[in-house]
Amino acid sequence: MIEGLQDHLSVKTGAKIEFLRDKDIGMGADWKATIGENIRKADAAIILVSAAHLSSPFIRKEESGEFFKRATADGSLILPVLVRNCDFRAFEELSGLQFFPLIIMNMGISLSAIASAAG
């Protein structure tokens, strides 16, 4: 999925898109420091929203939470993508954002279902 998203965004924007995935962090590396460093140098965040994302305190606080702080402080761009149906209404920062529609439609999730979940 990440490769498809990376290809899609590169073609659409012409920008160089880099993703950090768990499997990209080397064995024995300080994974928390690596994640923090990548968050600090990122120009934008694509948040892949799922129940697993919402139920992880580390992801909500340390990863997504940092991006939301940056968005408030310096206007950094956050693009949420709903990858699995889940109820994100209780998460104020997420529920207030427009989700990335092209990816949502390509995944077979209807925009009306998202509007219903957000509403």
Q: For 21-49, how does the pLDDT look when each residue is reduced to its tens digit (9 = 90+)?
A: 778 888 999 999 998 898 888 888 888 88
- Which pLDDT belongs to residue 29? 93
Query: Is residue 56 in a domain?
Result: yes
Other CB atoms within 10 A of residue 31 CB: 11
Is 75 contained in some domain? yes
Residue 63 belongs to some domain of the structure: yes
Pull the structure tokens for residue 114.
């998202």
* Whole-angstrom distance, CA of residue 55 vs CA of residue 80: 16
* CA dihedral sign, ordered 40, 3, 98, 83: negative
Whole-number percent of the chain with pLDDT over 90: 7
Mean pLDDT (the chain) is 76
What is the number of structural domains in the chain? 1
**Domain residue limits at 100:** 2-16+30-118
Sole residue written with tokens 């998460």? 91
Q: Is residue 66 in some structural domain?
A: yes
Kindly state whether residue 24 falls inside one of the protein's structural domains.
Answer: no
What tokens does 87 get? 């109820």
Average pLDDT over residues 5-24: 68
Any domain includes 109: yes
The yes-or-no verdict on residue 76 having pLDDT over 70 is yes
pTM: 0.67
